[in-house]
Structures are given as structure tokens and as C-alpha cells.
Chain A
């Protein structure tokens, strides 16, 4: 079934949130409206509550590139999406295109996970396939990697994804706020949101592994 059709079914089943986005339906004649969830009350007020109107999905990347303080959101799961705007969309396909800009592949990953078709890659496998300057990252210790999850991942460190991977097949992540996080920012029942899923460590995490691996190697040599 096409992703856009599945998305429509999800919304009809009561899902109205993905990441920091609130998905509203039938607002002022628009079939779908997106905004920051903290602005969702404004979006239904007259004149859209003063929110800046964006028609169509084309500006989704522009809205989501920088945080309010100007920092570059190179990881889209960061919990610092700008507020003050509302995006009006005419079709499920437009909605899908917008969501793929705000949270790349997240709807598809969620659907694959539901259908049991999501391939999860553990950290050791991810590091093992790195070449070039990132090859060295594979030398990181398990303890170093576990510590990195605590200090790099999770909403406290600006990432709202639910981590699905382990260190390796026999080594789950240590319990922490990051490893426990369900992928839904804000307090919402799981049935009302599409969680952001992390099926393998991102390249930012790999770069951090390389940094820690270099430090560990230096300590051994010293």
C-alpha cells in the first residue's frame, strides 16, 4: 500500500503527532495542517492565530533547517523545531512530502517497523562497514560506546528518536533516559503519535565514536 494511503489511515485511526509536529485535519478548508505542537491551539483560531501560513510542502526544508537560535539542525530528530508557522496541505501526498522533509523517512520507517520489515543494524555492524577516516571508529570500546549513548542521544541531548539498535547482538544498551526514550516528544499516549525511530546509529554518532576511539587509543599509548 502506498505510504501516503497508509498515512491517511494512520491519521484516521487517531494519530496526530510526529516528532514536534502536530497534524490537524480539516482546518479552515485545508484537509491537513501542520504546525509545532506547542502552536496547535493557535492554528485553529481565527486568522490562524497569527501563525505564518505556508501553503504546500515546498518550504518544509526551509522551516526545519535552523532552530530558533540559528543553529543548524543537521539531525532532524532534534527537539528544537521553530515555532510560529502553519503549513496547509491539500493531499496525503503533499503531507507525505512535507513529513519527509521535516522527519526524513520517519513515516516509512514506522510503517516498516509495524509490518516487521525494518532492518535494524547494531552499532558494531555499522562501525565495521566504515571506511576512510571513519574506519578508526570501530576500535571504540563497549564502555566508550555505552557512555556515548548517554551523552549524545536522547531528548536531553536534542535527539527525540527511539533507539532500536544495540551495541551488538548480545549487548543491549545500558539503561538510561536515552535508551528508554520512546521517540515521542511531549506527553502523549503511544497510539496518538508516530514515533521517530533510530534503526542504526547516525553519522554524527559514528563521528563521535571516532573521536572517543582516538582518545582511548591515546590513553592506551600514554
Chain B
């Protein structure tokens, strides 16, 4: 979906950020730079939970009176429903905060276009692979605390199955709940397996934890910015050929999904 320019509005991309891993916030800045290049908004900014600028301070660096807030999160849950509204002092889809009108869009991870991005990632990491001989596994964190984080992944699995892409199987799996990603070889019946981490960045989980769980790294290694793990595809282990992608949120097309969420907000709330 193309978006009409908003020369009097600002875009605020909200992310988690990290005090330990600088790669965690790289995708947010990359997407912001990409959207800034397109000159669709008067200004494009990032705000964070764990890094600076904090959500409480980022409004001070924005000139525009109208701000679209897009959570660059993978699912709806604690952060998008509790932390971000509290920190930005939002009381509904549109809130006036200290004279500025904030429109709170839905998180990128639940947009239907994420399906196209997953499939594109899978094709890129394993070009020419016969889908009929391949299992596609979408993996996330998983937690007993919030069902929404697994729902976003299950929704994507169902959408891919419905779109008849020819994969022998499309499965969900998680780090901390069943079905476990560590059991990928038992979950898959095919010789080829593609694992797509449904995370926003190549931070601790997708770059350091999951490679150990699936067996391509003997132990937790350094952060992504300090080496290259993804160049080694495919991995021949546990009797199968495994392809491991970088986190879905690092995909350049995520910038389009951020813009899609702005468009959708306008459509739903009749701001066009």
C-alpha cells in the first residue's frame, strides 16, 4: 500500500532497545533512515524503552504537532498495551499530549504483510530449494506470561499454509515453550529445514541463543556486530540440511510495514 506524504506530521518508531546489545536497536534506525529518505514525513524519530531517547523524552525532540507512533514490536502484549501507552501517556488511539496529537498505530509484527516478508526471507536464504522437500519453521520467544506473543507466530503459520506456497510443512516453535525450537529436527519430516526467527532484531535471542539451541553454535557467541553467523548456510546437522535466517525485523521491507500501519490507522480511524 502506498502512503500519501504527510509533510506536517512526524513518525515515531518505538522500540525496546537494550543496555547490553547495540545490535538490538540497529533495525529501528535503519528503518527510520529508509523512511526519512523517502521524504514522506516532516521528521522521523526513534524512541525506546531501554535506550535513549526514552519515550518520555523523545517528544521534546519533535517539532510537529501531529505524530504517528508505530511500535516496532513483533506482537501485541505487555509492551504495546501497557508500557508504551503509559510512557507516552496515551489514553486511546488518538491522544493529545502537551499540545501534540499522537496517533497510536498497531505493532508491525501483526500486519498481514509480514507473511510476504517471511516468505521472501525464506526464498533468499535458500534459493532454488524444492519447497516440497522443505519444512519452514517460524520461531519466537514464547512465554507463559502472554499468549499474544505466540499468537502472532501462529497467525503467520496459518496465513502461509493458506497461501499454498508448496512447503511440505509450516510450523511454529519457541525458545521457552512447546513445541521447542531445540527439537527442530524431530519436528521436521523433510530433508531441508528453513528456520525464520520472528524477532525484531538480531539481538540476544535470534543471534546468540537460538543458534545454540538448534546446534549450529557450540556456545553463546559475541554480538552480531562483531561477526558473521549467517554466511555459513546451509548447516548439515542432525541428518538434515538447515538454513537459518537473520531476524525478520532486520528486513529492509519492514520500513514498508511501518508505513502500512500508518495507512491502516488512517483508514480505520477515518483520518484520510
Residues of B within 8 A of A58 (CB): 33
Q: Please provide the 5 A-B residue pairs with the shortest distance between their CB atoms, ordered closest to farther.
A: A108-B60, A104-B53, A108-B61, A105-B53, A104-B52
A119 vs B57: C-alpha distance when bound (angstroms): 10
Q: How far is the CB of B47 from chain A (nearest CB, A)?
A: 9
- In the complex, identify which listed stretch (A136-144, A182-190, A200-208) lies at the interface while the others stay far away: A200-208
Q: Which residues of A are in contact with B by a Cβ distance under 8 Å?
A: 2-3, 58, 61, 65-66, 72, 74-76, 100, 104-105, 107-109, 111-112, 117-119, 121, 129, 131-132, 199-200, 202-204, 207
A3 CB contact (under 8 Å) in B20, B50, B61, B86: B61
Q: Which of A107, A132, A200 contacts B56 (CB 8 A)?
A: A200
Interface residue? B29 (CB, 8 A): yes
- B68 vs chain A, min Cβ distance (A): 18
Query: Which residues of the other chain, B, contact A107 by a CB distance below 8 angstroms?
Result: 61
CA distance A43 to B20 in the complex (A): 33
- Add 8 more A-B contacts to A104-B61, A131-B83 (CB < 8 A): A61-B29, A100-B53, A105-B61, A108-B57, A111-B60, A118-B60, A131-B82, A131-B86
A76–B63 CA distance with the chains assembled, in angstroms: 22
- Residue in A74, A105, A108, A199 whose CB lies within 8 Å of B22: A74
Q: Can you spell out 28 A-B residue pairs with CB atoms less than 8 angstroms apart?
A: A61-B29, A66-B22, A74-B22, A74-B50, A74-B51, A76-B52, A100-B45, A104-B57, A104-B61, A105-B57, A105-B58, A105-B60, A105-B61, A108-B60, A108-B62, A109-B60, A119-B98, A121-B56, A131-B82, A131-B83, A132-B78, A132-B82, A199-B56, A199-B57, A202-B54, A203-B19, A203-B50, A203-B54
When chains A and B are docked, how far (Å) is the Cα of A204 from the Cα of B54?
12
Please tell me if the beta carbons of A65 and B22 are within 8 angstroms of each other in the complex. Answer: yes
- Any chain A CB within 8 A of the CB of B241? no
Summed over the interface, the residue pairs from A and B with CB atoms below 8 Å come to a total of 64
A132 to B49, CA, bound (A): 13
Contacts of A76 in B (CB 8 A): 52
Q: Determine the chain B residues whose CB is within 8 A of the CB of A204 once the complex forms.
A: 19
